[in-house]
């Protein structure tokens, strides 16, 4: 077998192994724990309010991050609270080639080629070069409001 063909085969194998392990991690993020994995990041209910989303601060009881399944967005929105109580919201659509990235601890990891982002969407490791799309977030009383701009993230 030509050397170049062997290298392509190994690369493809490693790529597929990465996808498989990340799929298991993503299954673990689903609310029902599909695949027998423990739940890591719960999906939270929210309300659409005008051009944004609203969810109660109580959604963060017992967790520092929640996922929002927004019907007209290509991937879940990940809302994270950092150690100082600041909230960020990012679209989990990987900026490399558009796979859905998965929150894993303090990072968001893409299962397709391994791009890794901080919880605020900043790229920590490529191949992605651009940060995840970030939404403005503000606190209104006991609720969190996330502004969606339909022209920018889809």
Query: In the beta sheet, which residues pair with residue 145?
Result: 54, 138
CB of 93 to ligand FES, least distance (A): 9
* CB of 45 or CB of 98, closer to ligand FES: 98
> Which residues is 74 bridged to in the sheet?
none
Q: How many CB atoms lie within 10 A of CB 28?
A: 18
Tell me the sheet residues that pair with 48.
53
Candidates 18, 42, 56, 127: give the one binding ligand FES (CB under 6 A).
Answer: 127
From 27-35, 54-62, 94-102, 146-154, span contacting ligand FES (CB under 6 A): 94-102
Enter the tokens of residue 57: 């601060």
The contact pattern for ligand FES, residues 48-87, with x = CB under 6 A and - = no contact, is ----------------------------------------
Q: Which of 16, 21, 49, 97 binds ligand FES (CB under 6 A)?
A: 97
- Using CB under 6 A as the binding criterion, the count of chain residues that bind ligand FES stands at 12
The answer for residues whose C-beta is within 8 angstroms of residue 30's C-beta and 6 or more apart is 39, 43
Does 94 engage in binding with ligand FES (CB under 6 A)? yes
Query: How far apart are CB 4 and ligand FES at their closest, in Å?
Result: 23
- DSSP one-letter code for 75: S
Q: How far apart are CA 60 and CA 42, in angstroms?
A: 10
Q: Are 103 and 79 in contact (CB under 8 A)?
A: no
Residue from 128, 137, 146, 148 touching ligand FES (CB under 6 A): that is 128
Distance between CA atoms of residues 90 and 79, nearest Å:
7
Binding positions for ligand FES, 104-123, rule CB under 6 A: 110, 112-115
For ligand FES, the binding residues (CB under 6 A) are 94, 96-99, 110, 112-115, 127-128
């Amino acid at each position: 077998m030509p050397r170049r063909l062997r290298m392509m085969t190994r690369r493809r194998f490693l790529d597929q192994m990465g996808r498989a392990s990340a799929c298991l991690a993503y299954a673990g993020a689903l609310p029902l724990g599909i695949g027998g994995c423990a739940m890591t990041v719960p999906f939270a209910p929210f309300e659409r309010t005008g051009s944004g989303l609203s969810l109660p601060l109580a959604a963060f009881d017992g967790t520092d991050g929640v996922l929002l399944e927004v019907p007209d967005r290509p991937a879940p929105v990940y809302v994270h609270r950092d150690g100082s109580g600041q909230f960020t919201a990012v679209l989990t659509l990987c900026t490399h080639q558009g796979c859905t990235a998965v929150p894993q601890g303090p990072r968001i990891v893409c299962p397709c080629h391994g791009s890794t982002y901080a919880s605020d969407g900043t790229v920590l490791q490529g191949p992605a070069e651009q940060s995840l799309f970030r939404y403005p977030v503000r606190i209104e009383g006991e609720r969190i409001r996330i502004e969606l701009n339909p022209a920018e993230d889809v």
